[in-house]
Amino acid sequence: MKLGVFLTLFRRKTLEEALAYAAECGVQTVEIATGGYVGNHHCKPEELLNNPGEIERFRQLLDRYKLEISSLSCHGNPLHPNKIVAEEHHRDFQNTIRLAQRLGVHTVVNFSGCPGESETSQRPVWITCPWPTDFAEIVEWQWREKVTPYWKEMSSFIREHGVKVAVEPHPGFAVYNTETALRLCDIGGEQVGVNFDPSHLFWQGMDPVSSILALQDRIYHFHAKDTAIFPNRTALNGVLDTKSYKDISARSWAFRTVGYGHGADTWKAIISTLRLVGYTGAISIEHEDGLMSVQEGFIKAVRFLEEVLITETTGEMYWAN
């Protein structure tokens, strides 16, 4: 496994400045945003695809700083009921896959998407309970009419371009937990797997280790991000929380830099289990910690994960002997 970073953290830097800083801080891989909700500050696929010279310049910059691309990421909603949004995110997705093939990048990250509740919807609808029965009927309709047809069609496109797509389970989308992730993997075939981000599992009450053991070799990419749960607030309001992520003092939980939601033992268990199921890809640092600056959170995450990864590598050598 190699330590990496989701380069969108440094969206205010130029591509070269971001790469230089990442290399200086000791990471070996970068995940580069290419559209959708995460934007395309460092990489505009359509422009690169139409300019071979820019693709070569892109490669040279990565070589200069001895960095590999772990994935191209276009976290969007190609199933959005607003056709303008859906078409834009679908176009970003297809162009990202085309660019990944040209660059020799094996993995593209995206969300599953989330439709509305009918053909006349204007906004996505995420269902969290089966009753009244309208809700159960909506979930069935979403998967039958929108999720399954889209991903069956996209799996062929993905296969044709020789890459794999890692779908990130995320509340608010059709795929948000282990069960729904495996369901989409069955629909998409080997071309579709998982971008595993423990932070979204922690607050739902899931155990990342159990989830990793269930997903096995369908984990194609990994985000390193943590979540702090506030028991005094969950005791009153549970974990479903629609307050702003900035309103940390009132929320039931908050995203944190790794090590600030769960300790080293938890993260060692996660890394060990990833190795156990054969994952050898990037540990890509993502930052959404409202209590730390990007630089502070990133550096602390690097130092924390360097120790966890070194400890686990040492353990592996010991077991092998």
Using CA atoms, how far apart are residues 287 and 70, in angstroms rounded to an integer?
17
Does the bond joining 132 to the residue before it have cis omega, within 30 degrees of 0? yes
Q: pLDDT of 100-133, one tens digit each? A: 999 999 999 999 999 999 999 999 999 999 999 9
> Which DSSP string corresponds to 265-320?
HHHHHHHHHHHHTT--SEEEE----TTS-HHHHHHHHHHHHHHHHHHHHHHHHHHH
pLDDT recorded at residue 311:
63
Q: What percent of the chain has pLDDT over 90?
A: 96
Given a contact cutoff of 8 angstroms between Cβ atoms, the answer to whether 139 and 176 are in contact is: no
Which three-class secondary structure state does DSSP give residue 82?
coil
Would you state the pLDDT for residue 315? 47
Half-sphere exposure of 2 (CA within 13 A, CB side): 17
What is the pTM assigned to this prediction? Answer: 0.95
The partner residues of 32 in beta bridges, in order of sequence, read 72
Sign for the CA dihedral angle at 171, 173, 174, 180 comes to negative
Extract the tokens encoding 253. 């939980």
Task: Tell me the pLDDT tens digit for each residue of 70-79.
Answer: 999 999 999 9
Q: CATH number for the domain including 52?
A: 3.20.20.150
pLDDT of residue 208: 98
Specify the number of domains making up the chain. 1
Tens of pLDDT along 19-39? 999 999 999 999 999 999 999
Domain interval for residue 312: 2-320
Of 311 and 294, the one with more pLDDT: 294
pLDDT above 60 (res 135): yes
Q: What percentage of the chain carries pLDDT values higher than 70?
A: 96
Distance CA 29, CA 25 (A): 11
* CA-closest candidate to residue 184, choices 105, 114, 128, 86: 114
CB 168 within 8 A of CB 111: yes
> Three-class SS of residue 45?
helix
- Calculate helix-pair angle for 83-103, 52-64, nearest 10 degrees: 70
